Structure formats: C-alpha cells, structure tokens
Amino acid sequence: MTTENLTSEFPNFEQLVAQEKLAYMQNYAKSSTFATILAPLLCIPLYLETTSNQLFNAWFIAMALVVLVRIFLIRALDLSGELKKNFLILNFALGIVTFVWGIGWFIFVPTSDPVNYLIYQIICLTILFVGMVGYCVSWKSFFSFVLPLKTPELIFIVLHHDFIIWPIAIGSMVAFYLALKMVFLFSKSWEKSFSLRLKNDALIDQLVTEKNASIAANLAKSEFIATASHDLRQPMQSINIFVDMIELKNLQDYEKSIFSRMRSSIAVLNKMFNTLLDISKLDSNFSTSESTFSLVQLIQELTNTYAHLCHEKGLSLEFEYTDCWIKGDPQLTSQILRNLLSNAVQYTETGGIVVSFRSDTNLLQFCVKDTGCGIPREDMPVIFKEFYRSEHSRSQHDGLGLGLSIVNRIVKKIGGECAVSSTVDKGSTFEIRTPFSVFDKTSPNDIRHIHATIPRTAGKPLSSQTSDGVSSNQELHLGIIENDPSLQTAYAQYFSKAGMTVHIIPHTESAFLDCLAEIPKLNFILSDFRLGEKNGIYFIQKLREEFNDDIPACIVTADTSPKHIKLFDQLNIHVLYKPIDIKLIEEFMAQNLAA
C-alpha cells in the first residue's frame, strides 16, 4: 500500500501516524526514565578510581543536568499541540543525553587500558539497542538519539587508530549501520501496520453502524408489520363476523357461488394475517417452555384443522405414530407442524400428505411428506428466507412466503435441525429433528396409522338451545369494549342474535364511569386492547373491581407488536388475535363460562 493510496483513503493519515508515533515514544521515554538515571550511577564503581576526579565530576554533573532536562522536556510534550514542535523537543531531549554518553569515550577510555575500551563499547552498544526498542517507530527520532552517541566514538577511533582493537571497532560500526537500516525499514513497516489498523477500525465502525442500522431496520419492520396489520385486521374482523352472519339458505345459487369465492378469499387473507402474527411473535424474543404433552392429542388437533381442508381438495391425510408422551414445547411443535401442513396442502393438488413421527435416541423426530409440485434445486438454498416465493409456484398459489421462514426460526430456537428433500412435480419431504424427549407407552414397533377424516364440530356454541327450546344464553350478560364502530356493531348483532344481553361499554374514562350504574351484572368481558388513553387491561381490571368478581375476560386485538405480545405473556392474559372466526370466540367464551 503506497503513501499516496493511504493519503487518498485517509486524508489526515500523516498526522495520525505522527501522533501515534509521538505518543508511543513519549510513553517509552517516560518508562525508561529510571534506567536513564541508574546507568550513570553504575559508572561510579566502574570509572571513579580510573578516571580523573575533575573529569569524572564534570561528566557526572553534565549527565545529571541533561537527564533532568530530558525528564522535564518529555513530560512537557503536548500531544494535542503542534506535532513538528513536539518532535523537535523530543529529539533534542533524546540527543542531549546520548551526546554526554558519547563524550564519555574521551573521559573513561584511556589509551593504555583495552579493558575499559571493551566495557565502554558494551555500554554504548547496549544504549544503541535499547534506543532501537523505543524509537524505531520513527527513524528521524532514532537518528537524533544514536548519532550523538556514535559520532564521538567514530572521532575517538580516528584519533586513536593505533590503539583501537579493529575487529571490535568495525563490528561496532557495522552494528550502527545495521541498526540504522533496520530502524528505517521498521518505521515504514510500522506505518503500514498502523494503516491496516486504521482500516480495521474503520471496517469495525462500519460493521457496527450497519449492524445498528440492521437492528433498527428489523425493529422498524416489526413495528411496521404490527401497525399495518393492526389497521387492516380491524375491518377484516368486522368482515369475518358479518360474513358468518349471512344465511346461505337465503341466497340464490348464483349468489351462493359468489359468496363461496368471497369467503375463500377472506380465508386466504386471514391466513396471511395469522402468518404475520407468527412473525411478530418470533420478533418478540419469545422463550420456549417445557411440559409433557400427548402425541395423540397433538395429532387429533391437527386432524381437526386439516382433514377438512384436505377433503375439499380431494387429498388424503395420514398420520404414522406410536402412542407416546413428549417432554418439550407443545405450542412450538404444533406451530412447526401447522406451517408445514399448510404448505403441503397449498402446494399439493393430487395425491396426499403423510405425517410420520418417530423416536431417534429417545428424541422426537417427524417428517411431512407431500405429493405436490416440489421445489426446484436452484431454490433450495433460499426457501427459508422471509417473503421468498419460488417462481415455480408463485402464479398458482397465494401467500406471503413466510411459512418456511417461521419453521426455520422456531427450529433454531428450540435447538433442532431441519432437512429438506424435494423433486419437482413429485413432492417434498421436510424432516424435523427436535431435542424433545420421548416417553413410549407402547412398543416402538407398534406403529399406528390414522387416515384423517373430516372431524365433527368440537365444542358447544353459545347459541345452543335447551331441552325446552329456550336459548341458554338469555341470562348471560356480555360486556363489549371496542372503539371500532363497525366491529362494535358486528359484535353486538352477532351475540344479540345468539341470545345474549350485550352491554356496549364506553372506552373514555368519564363515559365509562357513567355506564357502570346501568349494567346489572356481567358474565363475560370482550375487549380490544388499544382503546385510546387507556387499554383493555385497565378497563377489565376496573370492571372486576366494580362488580367485586373475577369476571372471565378476553382481549381480542389486532395489536401484534412484539412488546405487547410479551406483555400479554407476562400478565397471563387470554388474548385472541384478529381476524379470527367469531365461532372460535364463541367457543372460547363457552369454555371459560363452563369453567
């Protein structure tokens, strides 16, 4: 990397390098202060007796003065000040000390004693290499340090050439030359190393910025999905209720056909909204739970949901399993299977679907195999990406492309593995390996097969009739807190038709308090969450306090923001998400009232 490239990438590169070098050398100079003071003191036992007192005292006083000046100048350096001035001060502080050491050649080395010559040669070489350690990052500073040391030695050699031990003198000069060359090369290498550090720091800053932007974008995406889906779910819930209130027997054949298509389109929209809800739940940093659940019960719930859908498309649905109990998270297991089954039903036109469960080293594994359109090989690496839909099937099927993304995220969350195999126009197989323990109740070889059939309607609706023909709901008082006028009307009409006494409860503080005196009692509270200044939780608590009763309640909301999903979980509040079939709300109310 050339200096021009560095300067173009970092316009202030030279200044940054100089500041870094100056800081490094100042720290080293400070740390070596003790050695700078100690070294002259060691000369006392070495040369005091062999040197003239006047010369030794003069040298020692001079050394003491320059050391004090050096200490003062090094500490006076201002790294935030002018760099050129700071370098001049540093170089001067280094040079004056080594110059006094250089003068020592003419004071401590008599021409009659080779031993003193060798000792002082060792001292000077030691000072040379110590200086290399501290000042090699800047060849100019090193020159300022070493030239005052070696120049007097060179003069001494010239003046006393007949006394000098030439192999040692030549070795000393060679060491001086090599030190200069090494320092020059190291200084350039250090600059390159520093430039790489600058680039790494810049890349790290860029990565941190991009990571923060990605996190912010992900949060914004979640909030956008939650907000947008909230505004769309509200009218969709009204549409669902009004559609369910239409009596098919009152329609002509042509109108029935149109109505069936409309209901089918509404079902697709409901499915999309529920998929967005699943994404919001995953974005809320949900935690897994552990409980023991029955595999048979899980299969029965799946049968109740998907047998009818398969029957409508003329598909077979088969479950292969052994009767056992599972220790794990039943909700997440069910969610994985529902997404895989929904995909299988959507992309399969003929044949059928087989869901098989087995135990591998006492851990639950299951696979969903269909005879659908399959997945092209080039799409396999990206099928788990959010909102991805293959061109192979995009034109034939509706959806958001989130089902497999949800499966993948849940599988990773529970610490499982997902494997996929597929052949175009022949079908796909999704195999999930979970960390959930299996407790067999029967022999592992006792594999059962269930060919799912259309289930009978589960639960007892609130609008059922008693044996004497009188509606069982006549004594039920339902409080509805909803700020959407159309949805409020839809709830009131539906549950009034079901035979309940409906009380529309205002969601403003003053009107709410005035309304309480007109309500004789409440058997159930149905509330939205977002209601303006106060939320549904507040009004439910106020009603329970007013009637001094733990009235069964449920929040039916279109709010799917991650923070509110987490709040509902923490408060253990019953929550249903719009759009939802009104009959499911009715069944939920019936179960809670029965309890």
Q: What CATH number has the domain bearing residue 493?
A: 3.40.50.2300
Q: pLDDT: is 129 or 195 the higher one?
A: 129
Q: What is the pLDDT of residue 10?
A: 58
Domain range for residue 80? 3-207
Residue type, 472: S
In a domain, 128, yes or no: yes
From the number of C-beta atoms within 10 Å of its C-beta (0-12, 13-18, 19+), residue 511 rates as exposed
Residues 417 and 489 in one domain: no
Q: What is the CATH number of the domain that holds 419?
A: 3.30.565.10
Q: Given 166, 185, 207, which residue is the final one in a domain?
A: 207
Q: Given 191, 207, 223, which residue is the final one in a domain?
A: 207
**Cβ contacts of 141 within 8 Å, gap of 6 or more:** 21, 25, 87, 90, 91, 94, 135
Q: Given 207, 232, 249, which residue is the final one in a domain?
A: 207
Q: What is the pLDDT of residue 79?
A: 81
CA distance 97 to 139: 18
Q: What is the pLDDT of residue 478?
A: 92
Residues 86 and 150 in one domain: yes
The pairing of strands 417-423 and 448-451 is: unpaired
Residues 515 and 376 in one domain: no
Residue 318 has phi, psi (to 5 degrees) of: -125, 140
In a domain, 527, yes or no: yes
In a domain, 586, yes or no: yes
Q: What is the pLDDT of residue 99?
A: 93
Residue 441, pLDDT above cutoff 60:
no
Residues 440 and 388 in one domain: yes
Q: Which two tokens stand for residue 8?
A: 């173009």
Residues 76 and 9 in one domain: yes
Residue 581, pLDDT above cutoff 60:
yes
**Cβ contacts of 432 within 8 Å, gap of 6 or more:** 336, 340, 365, 366, 367, 407, 411, 416, 417, 418
Q: Is 294 helix (H, G, I), strand (E, B) or coil?
A: strand
Residue 565, pLDDT above cutoff 90:
no
Global confidence as pTM: 0.46
Residues 55 and 136 in one domain: yes
Q: Which two tokens stand for residue 571?
A: 């408060």
Q: Out of 114-118, 154-158, 454-458, pick the least confident.
A: 454-458
Residues 495 and 447 in one domain: no
Residue 2, pLDDT above cutoff 60:
no
CA distances in angstroms from 129 to 21, 39, 180, listed in the order given: 18, 14, 11
In a domain, 37, yes or no: yes
Residues 101 and 164 in one domain: yes
CA distances in angstroms from 221 to 226, 229, 393, 407, listed in the order given: 8, 12, 26, 19
At residue 339's C-alpha, the angle toward residues 336 and 345, to 5°, is 135
**Cβ contacts of 97 within 8 Å, gap of 6 or more:** 36, 63, 66, 67, 70
Query: How many structural domains does the chain have?
Result: 3
